[in-house]
Amino acid sequence: MERPSTTTVPRAGAARGATAATIEEVAARAGVSRSTVSRVLGGGDRVSPAALESVRRAIDELAYVPNRAARSLASRQTLAIALVVPEDTKRFFGDPFFAAIVGGINGRLASTEYLLNLFIASGDPGDKTSNYLVGGNVDGALIVSHHASNTFLERIHRAVPVVFGGRPVAADGSGYYFVDVDNVEGGRIATRYLVERGHRRIATITGPLDMAVGSDRLQGYREVLAEAGLPAGPAENGDFTVEGGAAAMARILAAGDPPDALFVASDLMARGALGVLQAHGLRVPGDIPIVGFDDSPVATEIAPRLTTVRQPSREQGEAMTDVLLARLAGEEPPRATLLQAELVIRETA
């Protein structure tokens, strides 16, 4: 007997071992065209509420799973986005900044088909990370916490659409897309607050100066002191870590003539500096007030609670993702997006 030439639609609740449903079967079950199902799978744009509900119900009944591999081949897309962090794992998992950034990125991608792939690539030994990313395995990349020495990032930048979190150190204003916090103004805000309270010997603990974030916060500190007619105080690199902040504070105290106030360019470093000051019998804020930077959870975990400059890290992750998604959609977003910092006054200053 000859088989009928109609599409067979499996019954709802088919056994797990049955042949997977196709997009044509979903369309037949929903009573719509194949293109309507495709639009629903792509996000539901330009589909009536009734058709949207019918397609979603058919997908559930047929246990339909989109064939991502086939769709990717057809569109030449991987539907993967890389987050590249040129730091070691201790730094990545120990700094709340990264958790906030990832939270913002993941929140934005949740409503898309893109998957986030994380690459912790300190130095990229053997070009393992860059070889993978330039080999057509991702559609684009987000890069945060980059240093001037991370030359492998330029190879990724030439191969796929990239958005940097923070201004690239070597950026000349052309060819780069980035989302940054106004770190120069953040350094100014912190230092101005201390100057306005009568402090005249203000030291600073900086982040790495081969990163724009480190040099920009130092620049803001120096600008305010110069405008106030005050000399720049001691400046020591704390490497954005608790241990580095403690070591930098110890060096400042060992040099003699301790400062009467301190601007620390991250909350983690401020935590380390606070411990050293307390160990030396110095009161905070009584003897040396401190202003940090980040407004991370660390700021409220220490005692006294840290006065700090808030940087909108989660919002930065969201904005980076928006810019990259716009680029992947063929749009032309702004190359530079600058977010504002603000002072959060607590107990250390």
Do 11 and 119 fall within a single domain?
A: no
Do 61 and 101 fall within a single domain?
A: no
Q: Is the pLDDT of residue 15 over 70?
A: no
Decide if 345 is inside a domain: no
Number of domains forming the structure of the chain: 3
**What pLDDT, in 10s, does the model give residues 251-299?**
999 998 889 999 999 999 999 999 999 999 999 999 999 999 999 999 9
Give the pLDDT of residue 43: 59
Q: Which range among 40-44, 105-109, 171-175, 260-264 shows the weakest confidence by mean pLDDT?
A: 171-175
**What pLDDT, in 10s, does the model give residues 193-241?**
999 999 999 999 999 999 999 999 999 999 999 999 999 999 999 999 9
Do 202 and 294 fall within a single domain?
A: yes
pLDDT > 70: percent of the chain: 87
Mean pLDDT across 102-128: 88
Can you give the residue range of the structural domain that contains 280? 183-311
Mean pLDDT across 79-99: 91
Q: Is the pLDDT of residue 101 over 60?
A: yes
**What pLDDT, in 10s, does the model give residues 137-178?**
899 999 999 888 888 888 888 889 999 999 887 655 557 899
Residue at a domain's end among 66, 100, 122:
66
Decide if 348 is inside a domain: no
CA angle 95, 101, 106 (to 5 degrees): 130
Q: Give the torsion through C-alpha atoms of 112, 81, 85, 326, to 10 deg.
A: -70
How far is residue 346's CA from residue 349's CA, in Å, rounded to a whole number? 7
259 half-sphere exposure, CB direction, 13 A CA radius? 32
What backbone phi and psi angles, to 5 degrees, belong to 74?
-65, -35
How far is residue 220's CA from residue 343's CA, in Å, rounded to a whole number? 14
Give the pLDDT of residue 6: 34
Q: Give the torsion through C-alpha atoms of 183, 184, 185, 190, to 10 deg.
A: 80
Q: Which range among 55-59, 270-274, 301-305, 317-321 shows the weakest confidence by mean pLDDT?
A: 55-59
Decide if 204 is inside a domain: yes
Quick one: how far is CA 97 from the chain centroid?
Answer: 8
